[in-house]
Structure 1
């Protein structure tokens, strides 16, 4: 009898509560409810091949992200903040692109929840930034933030966090500056450096020590390629960066930036 009553209560309670997403641009601020996005005129059913988070093909009800960012230009910059503190730094140009890779805001329907990301973990909802044809434009896994709660327009990373900048005497196309660009794309969503950044997931990558100072030889590169091969524990969150995502030449550039910054620890961060 108790089981029957519990089942009836669950049915009467209805689906899981809907969520809301805040999009804060320089000229506007909008809060979207789940139901509004699911019924949005631009909403479509999209097929995602080899979804980054679920590691398999997935189908979502989604809205083209560009539609939700009115007035944003390709020169702008936004940040997608997740419920767990993950803060993806995103140049606006790929989000607004009409060809190649296309960004979509996938919306979890409370009546038909997505599967958990792993045993004992929640789903990628309530809102998840997914991409069709990501390989065409070199979209990295860090550009697939899930459990998104806020998308906000900000100044560029370089403007907000000068402590991340390489030596200003270097040319714009210097390999160190190329590595800095890769750091922003692949690392800054989880890590800070010199105390600078908004992420709250992983450790600072320069203070008190840079990993280039305590992981000798090729161990740092091996760690980036497959973290669990060097440090294995069940709750580890850092993903593996395969060569298809971070080619060997890019990995060299990224490590070069970290080595450079090891000599540029800021006094405020020490």
Structure 2
């Protein structure tokens, strides 16, 4: 869910086929797009209301669970895109074979997908899409496109202690930390912590709760262009289906709490 400047693109030629690297507990494997298109579990899937294209889309895709050899439900994965977007993904939904189901869509160079905008490439060559996403409340940041790598990593709290609320923080702040991981960490860092290379840090030098007073911050999160019209703006709006008013309050509570816990990178 982001518009970006794509400085690096895959080239679909016999000499340089699009590749996806999987770094998993069982080892590292690189898949070429042509191999995945011929995978025995590949099938045609229809995605209603595709998060990126905003319409019904049809893809050739492989169940992501079929590629996650050795991954367990309680583990954590990260999908890294070409533009620095880094989606943090609990493994359990990715491994599910019922309800919400994750698919790796593969762009066929003979049938390329539509561009993301004028002068922009498509969402390919690899795009994580979902069937029945509402069954597990899959958020828009869990649909990474132009994916180059999927890797197993320790949980966010273990990797980035600078993101942690104070030990005495109440349950609402802790819940807000979970919302931050789900909705914000794919694009933003906080206290310099995180793997994303896409959006600005949300605490250094200033936390948005310090300069967006009243109801301006929730309004901005719901619809960034409603506060500041900027054609080059990359941040999407987050609907109530993606994050409820209660969850949004928890997220803002976490950000406000972290404004008092600045750690210079």
TM interval, shorter chain, is over 0.9
- Aligned residues of 1:17 and 1:110 also touching (Cα < 8 A): no
Whichever of the two has the greater Rg, that structure is 1
Aligned to 1:85: 84
Conserved? CA contact 2:25–2:70, under 8 Å: no
Q: CA shift at 1:26, angstroms?
A: 2.4
Name the SS for the 1:179 alignment partner.
Answer: helix
Alignment of 1:149-168 (within 5 A): 149-168=148-167
**TM-score normalised by length of structure 1:** 0.91
Q: 1:183 aligns with which of 180, 183, 188?
A: 180
Give the aligned partner of residue 251 of structure 1.
248
Q: Distance in 2 between matches of 1:152 and 1:168?
A: 29
Q: Given that residues 128 and 147 in structure 1 are in contact (C-alpha distance below 8 angstroms), is that contact kept between their aligned partners in structure 2?
A: yes
Unpaired runs of 5+ residues, structure 1, are 1-12
Q: Cα–Cα, structure 1 residues 55 and 128, in superposed 2: closer, same or farther, change >3 Å? A: same
Instruction: Give, in whole Å, the separation in 1 of the partners of 2:46 and 2:186.
Output: 25
> Which residue pairs with 2:44 in the alignment?
45
Higher relative contact order, chain-length normalized (CA < 8 Å, sep 6+): 2
Aligned to 2:230: 233
For residue 139 of structure 2, what is the aligned residue in structure 1? Answer: 140
**Cα distance in 2 for residues equivalent to 1:230 and 1:124:** 28
Structure 2 alignment gaps of length 5 or more: 1-11
Match of 2:214 in 1: 217
1:16 and 1:110 in contact (8 A); partners too: no
TM-score under structure 2 length normalisation: 0.93
Structure 2 distance, partners of 1:74, 1:231, is 41
| Structure with the largest fraction of helix | 1
Secondary structure at 1:74's aligned position in 2?
coil
Shift of 1:231: 2.0
Aligned-partner Cα distance in 2 for 1:242–1:148: 24
Conserved? CA contact 1:18–1:110, under 8 Å: no
CA distance in structure 2 between the aligned counterparts of 1:232 and 1:206, rounded to whole angstroms: 23
1:15 and 1:110 in contact (8 A); partners too:
no
Distance across 1 between alignment mates of 2:254 and 2:13: 52
2:54 maps to 1:55:
yes
- Give the superposed CA RMSD: 1.5
- Aligned residue in 1 for 2:197: 200
Task: Quote the Cα distance in structure 2 between the aligned partners of 1:246 and 1:169.
Answer: 25
Alpha-carbon distance in 1 for matches of 2:13, 2:244? 47
